[in-house]
Chains A and B, each alone.
Chain A
């Protein structure tokens, strides 16, 4: 049954894409593999699969998503960087590529990739229990300033994870020590949000989309979002800049990249195709339904983003005592 439905889809697509396929004769001429360093069913997997579906329509060749998991993302990221540079093995890289090497867990950095496009960015929010006394982020910031070091507790992911760094970066932007609030490591955002609702934590700094259901259930309240602009899916949450005039933005971003030295036509074709994918109605509908943040940069912009993110995440990790060396 599954096979038949796939055949139908594959059979139907060539008619739709015949025109663009003729315009791009040299690449791709056979199926392309898109590696995903995280497990099937997760957020990164969902984003890479919708991109693969839309690329298939754009370029007329199957884009097969392969989840290459293991080693906290190291294995999959390494597989993308070490793939044959023929343009037929690409993949999705995530914020972890700018964090793992600072911890001394891999030699890989963003310089081992040909960036193609930034496709998504989920900024962290600041969430409190619905019964917490803080009405806005300014009151919470004041409570943090007047607390003993380590008195307040926050969570959202594991030790040294992206949301831990978001907390460290926010505290440093307030000119406080990066570990002034005690980080409670959790096994992802969901248990942290559960513990927040159960009254075990003072606030969480995981992404707003991960907090969404608890916000909808009126068990938690969002005070601010650490991004430059308000989120399309959550227009009522102020940015840090608006709420307390702090210029601090970060996020868990995802982008498409390939190994170094892929053919020029693969790079230019993908650059243009990913732009069209990002602007397509299907992509924005999917991302908005899932609550994922829409954020785009073309190949050059993604390269600049990677360099900036690598530096700022490195600073946060050093300040929080999480970087090796």
Chain B
């Protein structure tokens, strides 16, 4: 109890509270700009943390990243511009709700279940950190290979079109991920002598291109849809309370899956939402409603997304292994401020550790009122004329992608991916599967090749390690399930001709 009270005292200092509030507003604003990611918001804070006390410095990073990830969903829901590869899983669903005139419901679900996910994830971090850390350390390259494969299969489950076209889109994404020299062989592939391609294609320009630019292109060719009648939706939170009761099981399942996937460094953040959204659809009583503006998947994916963010701190805090780019930055700040990651952080500096937990919870709580204000403000975009909003979005696409590396090549990529996304959508190829392929491609190849190097070309370790055998079984059953279902359907139809 002593360290907890000490931690509380650390957090309640004036400078820490000001830092939390300021970085919350900052994170909400930066995250909501299309093309700017939470990583970018966090990285830009690092020079500011030079001047802050240790707890205030960490508080700015934690708060800003949590806020930016939530507000990254705002352009996703309102304008179909996802903020992160993770939110690409459910962008179409949220946007469909917006087109039905229920933008507040979609965004409110994102906010409410993100906050719950974040708090549940933090509690799991407090109670289970050492146990969760063991999960992270039991994953070698063999397990990561199966995990990447499972993640990719979500693309076909999520898609609302022909599964073959979904697989083709995903393969196209994997092919794009081959570009550059960031592959296990360190050999430049498909770079066509362009130095800018050596580092490969970043997901952010691809994401902005296939979603946002292609949306602006569609607007050019299609008539403006009739304005939505202006309605008051009453309290955003009241709606969420109803959803919480209706989809309580899905919410807990999302939290649980998010916590487990989140602790796996390098996989967590991007995969949790995809897996949970696919699970929600797979086990739903009404899967046909998915993709048409149905909140069930948003509940589960949102809960999973933010739970994974919190549990993603476990390997960072215990072993200094970053789960994603944001925790990589946070680890740097922790070292800079003398809060070195490691088990001693949990024992010798327990009060600082409790302070971090309290900041996590606090950030997720103040996210609700600030987020509601942000949603109300952002929703006005929907009432502005399209011919005024779309040009500014196009400008933001250019500047946002430029800002990721201060490199104009990213702007060219955005244009190229815009055309690609437009053509794909017109012909029934899901662009979300393309994004998933780009994100997971290097993980799949990296872990496949390094596993074989380590085993001297032997494939047995893919199946004989305990966790890998379980994941392999899961992958094969997911792979064969549609086939078996199809055969069974055929047989039963033949037996009883209708």
Contact = CB atoms under 8 A, between A and B. Distances in A.
Chains A and B belong together in one complex: yes
Contacts of A213: 318-321, 331, 340-342
Interface stretch (A195-203, A241-249, A303-311): A195-203
Given A182-B453, A212-B320, A213-B341, A291 B328 contact: no
A197 B137 contact: yes
A1 B321 CA distance: 31
Contacts of A141: none
B256 to A, nearest CB: 23
Interface stretch (A70-78, A116-124, A266-274): A70-78
B406 A66 contact: yes
Interface stretch (A20-28, A38-46, A169-177, A251-259): A38-46
A214 B338 CA distance: 16
Given A70-B409, A190-B322, A195 B197 contact: no
A212 B456 CA distance: 29
Interface in B432-470: 442, 446, 449-450, 453-454, 456
A153 B188 contact: no
B406 A69 contact: yes
A74 B406 contact: no
A68 B405 CA distance: 5
Contact of B195 (A75, A155, A201, A322): A75
B266 A191 contact: yes
A105 B321 CA distance: 30
B343 interface: yes
Given A53-B50, A214-B319, A41 B328 contact: yes
B181 A105 contact: yes
A217 B318 contact: yes
Given A212-B320, A216-B340, A190 B450 contact: no
Contacts of B344: 216
A158 interface: yes
Given A41-B39, A289-B337, A290-B335, A70 B405 contact: yes
Interface in B136-191: 136-141, 180-182, 184-188
B498 interface: no
Given A1-B22, A194-B315, A200-B454, A106 B328 contact: no
A216 B325 CA distance: 22
A16 B138 CA distance: 53
Contact of B180 (A66, A72, A195): A72
Interface stretch (B41-49, B71-79, B120-128, B275-283): B41-49
Contacts of A103: 186
A261 interface: no
Nearest to A291: B335
Contacts, number: 184
The prevalent SS among residues of B at the interface is helix
A111 to B, nearest CB: 18
B336 interface: yes
Interface string B45-68: 011101100000000000000000
A159 B185 contact: yes
Nearest to B337: A289
B26 interface: yes
B198 interface: yes
A16 to B, nearest CB: 14
Interface string A153-181: 10100111100000000000000000000
A216 B187 CA distance: 35
A5 B51 contact: yes
B14 to A, nearest CB: 14
A195 B47 CA distance: 32
B83 interface: no
Contacts of B140: 195, 198-200
Contact of A40 (B40, B48, B453): B40
Contacts of A161: 186
B22 A72 contact: no
Nearest to B184: A185
A46 B449 contact: no
B450 A185 contact: yes
B329 interface: yes
Given A194-B321, A200-B140, A75 B43 contact: no
Contacts of A218: 343
Contact of A74 (B198, B265, B321, B456): B198
* 5 cross-chain pairs, A with B, having the tightest CB-CB distances, nearest first: A213-B320, A159-B186, A40-B43, A216-B342, A69-B405
11 contacts: A41-B43, A70-B195, A71-B199, A74-B198, A75-B199, A153-B453, A158-B184, A191-B266, A200-B140, A216-B320, A216-B341
Interface of B: 22, 25-26, 39-40, 42-44, 46-48, 50-51, 136-141, 180-182, 184-188, 195-199, 265-266, 315, 318-322, 325, 328-329, 331-332, 335-338, 340-344, 404-407, 409-410, 442, 446, 449-450, 453-454, 456
